[in-house]
Chain A
Amino acid sequence: MALSRLLRTLLPGDEVLIAGFGLGAAAVVVAASGTLWWLTSMTERRTLEESREKMVAALGDSMAQSVETMLGNSEVSAVRRLVADAARDAGLSVCRVTLGDGKILADADPSRITAQTLPDQWPPLIDQPPATDGRTLELNISGKGKARLELVAQNASTSLANSRNTAVVGMVAACSLVGLGVVYRLSRRRTRGLGAIDDALSHLSAGEKELAALEVSPTLGEQASAWNSLLRELVSLRNRELLASDPGRAAGGENRDGYFAAACNALWHGLVVADDSLNITYANGAAAVFLGARRETLIGRPLIDVLGDSPNVAPLRSLADGTNRGRIVVESPLAASGQDAVFRISARRLRAGEGSGTVLLIEDVTQQRVADKARNAFVAQATHELRAPLTNIRLYVEALLDKPDSDVPTRSKHLNVVNQEARRLERIVGDMLSVSEIEAGTMKLANDDVRLVTLFEEIENDFRISAQAKGITLKFTVPPKLPVIVGDRDKIVLALSNLVGNAIKYTPAGGLVSVVVRAENDSLRIDVTDTGIGIAENEAELVFERFYRSKDRRIEGITGSGLGLALARQVVRLHGGDITLASELNKGSTFTLTLPARANISLAA
């Protein structure tokens, strides 16, 4: 355990296992070598000891003879030299000559010598136990006495075996190290690959989401390649899953999916896909704009929260429980786009077999609703305008019927009102028709020869009573001779009637409305001037817009469709002319209508 801990600290985690195996193998080798060495050394030792015993015996015999001779001649120093040499040469641990009393006459180690000189009287030999590991020889020195030669061989086998043991262990260790190195080198590539995979796995468990980041270098071997291909398979699987729920995010994926994602994103309608619990899984760019959030932040949010708390979107909740599999269409403002904007949200749950979840299409229908509102207002206004002359006709005819005996001037006056109101009805109906023609783009102009003098008489006649009733002076200045122009008579009357009618409508009692007609070179110029409330400069062009009505509070309650001036200008322009405005607030306005004398009629709008 301690070893494995040590290895762990020394080696990278992935190599501990391999190093452990290597060391185990080395230990087995060492143990085997040791046993072998022990067996061989036991045999060798015996052989060595035998040869050593023989050598010591032989050496002892030859030395004994030499020493006996030398001592006989009293050559002590020669004996001492021989002993030292023999001990050194033969590697003897003990090599000495002792006298009968135990004194040492010569020794391999000179410091041990106790008898410096030969004794005068040679003492007799004392019995001595023979050396266990050496040889003791009895010397008989002729004429002198007896001495003893002791030879003890150095523990040569031990020393030899020790050195050999070290060599063997060193060799085994070296072999083991070499083997370990080879094993390590061989396993290195494999372990590095596994190590990289191990690193990747720990990153994965640490929360790394990007699978591509977990790939390891393919040079790390087969395992690395296998790991990488496994990863790629997982990535492609995951992408396929993402594509199924979120084609938009797969823009970088396969061409086909990228193509569809781009197409969805290019839609000008909002496209939202939600899962079964109505959490958003996809939103295209338009949807993000309508919902006032970035696309990424919409993903995962509950659809109902994102759409806001308008009661209009409540029906969409029924999609969540799966009971409603039909199409649900609601119209609602969206919190992010302001209260004025109106969106139509069509939603449908995918049917079984199509996948799970809900698809929503969000359309901005604000403009349609504005147009609808204007059209509805126009219809309401038009019906109101129709009711006013109808009321008058009914009241005046009723009066004539109730009092058949009333005087002629009264009857005549009542009939005039009826006639005038019938003409007013005609104009309103004409306006409504013209509006629908212009709206539909089907306005056609007739090619009438228009006698202008008669036309102005008619208009003056039409408005005389209403001007009088309001206490307004209506003054027409028409030259006795005017050219006959070619144009659509009804439309020209419509345009002029609108101008004169407006002038009377927006001029207070006691005011003046004048119509001045002039023939100029090739054109006809008609100025309709009033002393009314006037039009602010910033509204001078706006009043010609369809459905536009001045923001002046003084006209609140005055009926008007917001179409009269738009229509008048439109029909005059179709005749090649125009209507312009010069006005001053609180002083009055002058609308100038110009028509080419030979009107160059464009036959279609």
Chain B
Amino acid sequence: MPPDTILIADDEACITFMLGTRLEESGFKVLVASDGDDALALALANRPTVIVTDFQMPRMSGLELAQRLRESDTTRSIPLVLLTARGHRLTPTELRDTNVQHLMSKPFSFRELLGIIQDMCRDNRAQRKAAA
């Protein structure tokens, strides 16, 4: 069984480095983007299983990315974890018609994030099995 691919998007290099290193150690294939544009291009090209993105990024915000993913059949159903500063409140209206499935406040624990990603990958496999 091929490993699940996780796309990480954040303009903080230290974060993508650490998350990438630890996700690879956990058996995932990792893609890294430093802004929203990059992330959208990588998502369309590689169709990752899960996307983890920061809210505040250059060029395209994490929320905008989550909306743009809906525009393509390739990426419409990819679950997304949005990392936000706790001070930033997102309204249900803002989250409607996006891929956002989980909001996570910074700072966060890697183990907590890993648990969420693993759940999402399991759900994804179950759905594919049901469809097949």
Give chain A's interface residues, CB within 8 Å of chain B.
380, 383-384, 387-388, 390-396, 398-399, 402, 417, 421, 465-466, 469-470, 509, 554-559
Contacts and interface: CB of A to CB of B under 8 A. Distances in A.
Nearest to B64: A557
- When A and B form their complex, which 5 residue pairs have the shortest distance between CB atoms, in order from nearest? A469-B13, A391-B107, A384-B85, A394-B107, A391-B106
B116 interface: no
Interface string B94-127: 0000000000001111110000000000000000
B27 interface: no
B65 to A, nearest CB: 11
A395 B18 contact: yes
Nearest to B13: A469
Given A383-B85, A390-B106, A391-B15, A398 B58 contact: no
A380 B108 contact: no
A551 to B, nearest CB: 15
B18 A392 contact: yes
Instruction: Specify which of A554, A555, A557 lies most central, judged by the most chain B CB atoms within 10 Å of its CB.
Output: A557
A398 B14 contact: no
Interface in B75-89: 85-88
Given A395-B107, A402-B111, 13 more contacts: A380-B87, A383-B86, A384-B85, A387-B85, A390-B107, A391-B15, A396-B18, A398-B109, A399-B21, A399-B22, A557-B11, A557-B58, A557-B60
Contact of B13 (A384, A393, A470, A559): A470
Given A390-B107, A469-B14, A557 B88 contact: no
Nearest to B57: A557
B15 A392 contact: yes
A555 B58 contact: yes
Contacts of A555: 58
13 contacts: A383-B86, A383-B87, A384-B85, A387-B86, A387-B107, A394-B109, A398-B109, A399-B110, A402-B110, A469-B14, A554-B59, A556-B58, A557-B60
B109 A466 contact: no
- Category for how many chain B residues contact A: 20 to 34
A471 B34 CA distance: 12
A389 to B, nearest CB: 9
Nearest to A392: B14
Contacts of A402: 110-111
Nearest to B12: A388
B39 to A, nearest CB: 12
Contacts of A554: 58-59
A380 B88 contact: yes
Contacts of A395: 14-15, 18-19, 107, 110
B12 to A, nearest CB: 6
Nearest to B18: A395
Which of B14, B59, B107 has the largest count of A CB atoms less than 10 A from its CB?
Answer: B14
B18 A399 contact: yes
A557 B56 contact: yes
B48 interface: no
Given A384-B85, A384-B88, A394-B108, A469 B17 contact: yes
B67 interface: no
Contacts of B14: 392, 395-396, 417, 421, 465-466, 469
Interface of B: 11-15, 17-19, 21-22, 34-36, 56-61, 85-88, 106-111
B84 to A, nearest CB: 9
A394 B58 CA distance: 23
A388 B106 contact: yes
Nearest to B62: A557
B13 A466 contact: yes
Contacts of B13: 466, 469-470
A293 B61 CA distance: 45
A468 to B, nearest CB: 8
A387 B111 CA distance: 18
Contacts of A470: 13, 34
B109 to A, nearest CB: 6
A123 B8 CA distance: 182
A417 B13 CA distance: 11
Contact of B106 (A387, A399, A417, A421): A387
Contacts of B59: 554, 556-557
A592 B56 CA distance: 30
Contacts of B57: 557
A558 B34 CA distance: 11
Contact of A557 (B36, B86, B110): B36
Given A421-B14, A465-B14, A557-B59, A398 B110 contact: yes
Contacts of A558: 11, 58
Nearest to A385: B85
Contact of A392 (B12, B22, B109, B111): B12
B88 to A, nearest CB: 7
A296 to B, nearest CB: 47
A547 B8 CA distance: 31
A392 B61 CA distance: 20
Contacts of B19: 395
Nearest to A508: B58
Contacts of A559: 56
Contacts of A509: 34
Contacts of A383: 85-87
A322 B15 CA distance: 62
Q: Which of B22, B87, B107 has the most CB of A within 10 A?
A: B107
A402 B114 CA distance: 13
Contacts of B107: 387, 390-391, 393-395
A396 B21 CA distance: 11
Contacts of B21: 399
A384 B56 contact: yes
A554 B61 CA distance: 12
A392 B35 CA distance: 18
B9 to A, nearest CB: 11
Nearest to A394: B107
Contacts of A557: 11, 35-36, 56-61
Interface centre among B13, B36, B60, B61, by most A CB within 10 Å? B13
Nearest to A469: B13
